[in-house]
């Protein structure tokens, strides 16, 4: 009986310590940097590759849907918000591609998900 109580107490203490760590990690923004330095964004092929990189980065920072209703809701919300900001950055990168190519410049976009 005493051993069972000790195990339950140890499990409770571990859960109490792990919970704040998980909550802190959940609140920390997750980021991804997507380079298009090697792509020709003036071509449809280059833009398609860039779009796939963005999709992969959104999944990396937001996670994948896993058929867990509570978790999936948060993932979908993150993906929607991150895709919205990514689309604006993507469109700006494509629109300014030739200008930046002439000027040198950093050819990356950065995604931030909370």
pLDDT tens-digit readout, 60-78: 999 988 888 777 888 999 9
Please report whether residue 3 resides in a domain. Answer: no
Please report whether residue 8 resides in a domain. Answer: no
Residue 6 pLDDT > 90, yes or no?
A: no
Percent of the chain with pLDDT over 90: 48
Please report whether residue 83 resides in a domain. Answer: yes
pLDDT for the residue 101? 55
Local confidence band at 5 (pLDDT 50, 70, 90 cut-offs): very low
Q: For the chain, what is the domain count? A: 1
Average pLDDT for residues 21-26, to the nearest whole number?
A: 43
Please report whether residue 104 resides in a domain. Answer: yes
d(C-alpha 72, C-alpha 96), whole Å: 35
pLDDT for the residue 106? 79
DSSP string computed for the chain: -HHHHHHHHHHHHHHHHHHHHHHHHHHS-EEEEEE-TTS-TTSHHHHHHHHHHHHHHHHHHH----S-HHHHHHHHHHHHHHHHHHHHHHHHHHHTHHHHHHH----EEEEEE-
Q: Which residues pair with 112 in a beta bridge?
A: 31
Please report whether residue 16 resides in a domain. Answer: no
The predicted model scores a pTM of 0.69
Residue 23 pLDDT > 90, yes or no?
A: no
Please report whether residue 58 resides in a domain. Answer: yes
pLDDT for the residue 26? 57
Please report whether residue 1 resides in a domain. Answer: no
Residue 10 pLDDT > 60, yes or no?
A: no
Please report whether residue 90 resides in a domain. Answer: yes
Question: Whole domain around residue 97: which residue ranges?
Answer: 29-113
């Amino acid at each position: 009986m005493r051993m069972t109580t000790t195990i339950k107490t140890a499990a409770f203490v571990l859960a109490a310590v792990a919970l704040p760590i998980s909550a802190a990690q959940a609140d920390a923004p997750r980021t991804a940097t997507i380079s298009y330095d090697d792509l020709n964004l003036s071509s449809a092929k280059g833009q398609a590759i860039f779009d796939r990189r963005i999709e992969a980065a959104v999944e990396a920072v937001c996670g994948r849907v896993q058929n867990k209703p509570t978790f999936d809701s948060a993932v979908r919300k993150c993906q929607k918000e991150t895709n919205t900001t990514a689309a604006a950055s993507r469109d700006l990168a494509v629109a300014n591609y030739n200008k930046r190519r002439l000027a040198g410049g950093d050819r990356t976009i950065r995604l931030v998900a909370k």
